């Protein structure tokens, strides 16, 4: 006898699992048919030998009703009949797989991608919350104390921030460093200040590193009181520089920003790529170069080999010129305005190709020897020479 495949039945039709006798078969057990007797025998399905014996002796086999009842009871106890109305499902491994179901490997890959996306979103949220918590202005002040030395030299490098240098007569001098930021993010991250001292030379380096997640402005400001006779170098990439009351050699270089020098004397060199350079009440040898911006020099007493050069900008000068000196004023695109005392002795030299001249003195040479030599050059703009009382 071949084993039948399980099939899906309605709740009314499917009441007995395959391989077990139904209630109707139990009622017909008293007829004495050999076919019903085989159905009541739980071993008849899996045992082929009783089936052969039944085929040969069909007319001689009788069914004992009592045995049939006891056999049915044993079958019921061994495998209880399902309750009416409950569907019998085949084993899980025999159920059909829907066509729309993804392969397990694709499901695992999609799960990993989803976990990565959730982790990235969580990290971005934490970073955003941290940035919001740092929204606004931040400031941190640090002080560094140094003793004065003979032949003192100070070198300052600051790539982002303002620098203010002023003098003091004696005693220790202090560097006051202010790290500041205004915006959203961790503004103090990537701002470093270092000091090095070699004998009488002190070097300070202030650096603001680039921060891609910070939105706003930040920098390192330096304020220092130096010995008035100290030699000084100041270098800045972006910021403003102010210097007052200095009496020795001075070198100032800036990329973008302004330079302001007041109440100082000595040998002074001021250089800027872009910005404004102004000097007030300055005396000595002065050399100014500004590639993109104006130069203003007020109440200035020049001597020696001094020069003022504004590449693309104007020059405004008022002051005195030592008779033994040589002075040059030059622009490429911008006017030159010079105001000198009426008692000045000078000889004016104008480069060929310069713009028109407006001279209140009326002549190119004035006074007796020695005379200050004034060389003036512009590309197209006017040159003005005014007389002051």
Same domain (yes/no): 243, 372: yes
- DSSP one-letter code for 164: E
Q: What local confidence, expressed as pLDDT, does residue 383 receive?
A: 95
Indicate whether 156 and 62 sit together in one domain.
Answer: no
Exposure string (b/e) for 22-52, b if CB count within 10 Å is 16 or more? Answer: eeebbebbeeeebebbbbbbbebbeeeeeee
- Give the pairing type, strands 315-321 and 250-256: unpaired
pLDDT at 329: 98
Residue 180, in any domain of the structure: no
Please report whether residue 225 resides in a domain: yes
Number of structural domains (the chain) is 2
Give the per-residue pLDDT at 352: 86
Q: Report pLDDT digits (tens) over 270-297.
A: 999 999 999 999 999 999 999 999 999 9
Residue 310 in any domain: the answer is yes
- Residue 21 CA to residue 72 CA, distance in Å, equals 8
Ramachandran sector of residue 216 (left: φ over 0; alpha: ψ -120 to 50; beta: rest): left
What pLDDT does 112 receive? 77
Q: To 10 degrees, the CA torsion angle through 205, 210, 213, 216?
A: 70
Is the residue at 279 inside a domain?
yes
**Domain final position from 78, 94, 110:** 94
- DSSP assigned state of 370: S
Contact yes or no for 202/153 (Cβ under 8 A): yes
- Quick one: 61 and 161 in the same domain? no
Last residue of a domain, one of 94, 115, 139: 94
End-of-domain residue from the set 53, 74, 94: 94
Q: Residue 287 corresponds to which tokens in the numbers above? A: 């050399």
pLDDT of residue 374: 97
Does the N-terminal peptide bond of residue 133 adopt cis geometry, omega within 30 degrees of 0?
Answer: no
Residues 88 and 170 grouped into a single domain: no
- Give, for 125, the enclosing helix (H) or strand (E): helix 104-133
- Which of 202, 93, 94, 103 has its CA nearest to residue 156? 202
- Residue 55 is inside which H or E element, if any? helix 48-56
Which pLDDT does position 380 carry in this prediction? 84
Judge whether 122 lies within some domain: no
Rama region for 195: left / alpha / beta (φ>0; ψ in -120 to 50; rest) = beta
Instruction: Looking at the structure, tell me whether residues 327 and 222 fall in a common domain.
Output: yes
Please report the pLDDT score of residue 40 as a whole number: 40
Residues 199 and 348 in one domain: yes
Residues 85 and 204 in one domain: no
**Shared domain check, 195 and 87:** no
Q: Which pLDDT belongs to residue 99?
A: 59
- Does residue 337 share a domain with residue 200? yes
Relative to beta strand 305-312, strand 326-331 is parallel
168 and 66 part of one domain: no
Residue 66: what pLDDT? 42
Burial grade of 183 (CB within 10 A; 0-12, 13-18, 19 or more)? middle
Residue found by looking up tokens 């006074």 in the block:
367
Q: Which residue has the tokens 């200050």?
A: 372
Same domain? For 224 and 369 the reply is: yes
Residues 6+ apart with CB under 8 A from 363: none
Judge whether 132 lies within some domain: no
Return the residue matching tokens 């460093």.
177
Residue corresponding to tokens 């007052």: 244
Note whether 364 and 258 are same-domain residues. yes
Examine residue 185 and state whether it is found in any structural domain, yes or no. Answer: no
Q: Which structural domain range is residue 50 located in?
A: 23-94
d(CA 274, CA 255): 6
Q: Which residues of the chain have pLDDT under 50?
A: 1-20, 23, 25-79, 133
């Amino acid at each position: 006898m071949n084993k039948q495949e399980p099939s899906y039945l309605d709740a009314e039709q499917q009441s007995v699992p395959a391989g077990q006798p139904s209630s109707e078969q139990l009622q017909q057990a008293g007829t004495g048919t050999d076919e019903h007797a085989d159905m009541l025998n739980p071993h008849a399905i899996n045992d082929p030998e009783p089936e052969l014996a039944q085929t040969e002796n069909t007319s001689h086999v009788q069914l004992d009703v009592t045995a049939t009842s006891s056999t049915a009871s044993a079958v019921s106890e061994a495998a209880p009949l399902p309750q009416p109305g409950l569907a019998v499902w085949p084993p899980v491994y025999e159920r059909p797989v829907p066509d729309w179901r993804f392969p397990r490997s694709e499901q695992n890959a999609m799960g990993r991608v989803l976990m990565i996306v959730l982790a990235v979103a969580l990290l971005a949220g934490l970073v955003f919350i941290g940035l919001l918590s740092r929204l606004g202005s931040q400031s941190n002040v640090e002080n560094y104390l140094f003793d004065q030395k003979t032949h003192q030299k100070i070198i300052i490098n600051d790539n982002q921030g303002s620098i203010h240098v002023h003098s003091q007569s004696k005693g220790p001098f202090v560097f006051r460093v202010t790290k500041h930021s205004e915006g959203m993010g961790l503004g103090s991250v990537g701002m470093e200040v270092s000091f090095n001292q070699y004998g009488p030379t002190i070097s300070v380096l202030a650096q603001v590193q680039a921060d891609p997640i910070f939105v706003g402005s930040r920098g390192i400001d330096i304020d220092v009181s130096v010995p008035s006779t100290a030699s000084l170098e100041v270098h800045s990439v972006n910021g403003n520089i102010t210097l007052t009351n200095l009496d020795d050699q001075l070198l100032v270089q800036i990329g973008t920003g302004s330079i302001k020098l007041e109440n100082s004397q000595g040998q002074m060199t001021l250089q800027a790529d872009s910005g404004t350079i102004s000097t007030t009440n300055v005396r000595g040898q002065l050399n100014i170069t500004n590639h993109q911006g104006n130069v203003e020099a007020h109440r200035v007493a020049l001597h020696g080999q001094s020069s003022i050069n504004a590449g693309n900008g104007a020059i405004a000068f008022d002051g005195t010129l030592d008779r033994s000196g040589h002075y040059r004023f030059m622009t490429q695109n911008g006017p030159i305005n010079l105001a000198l005392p009426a008692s000045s002795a000078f000889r004016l030299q104008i480069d060929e190709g310069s713009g028109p001249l407006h001279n209140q003195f009326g002549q190119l040479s004035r006074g007796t020897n020695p005379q200050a030599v004034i060389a003036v050059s512009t590309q197209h703009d006017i040159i003005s020479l005014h007389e002051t009382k």
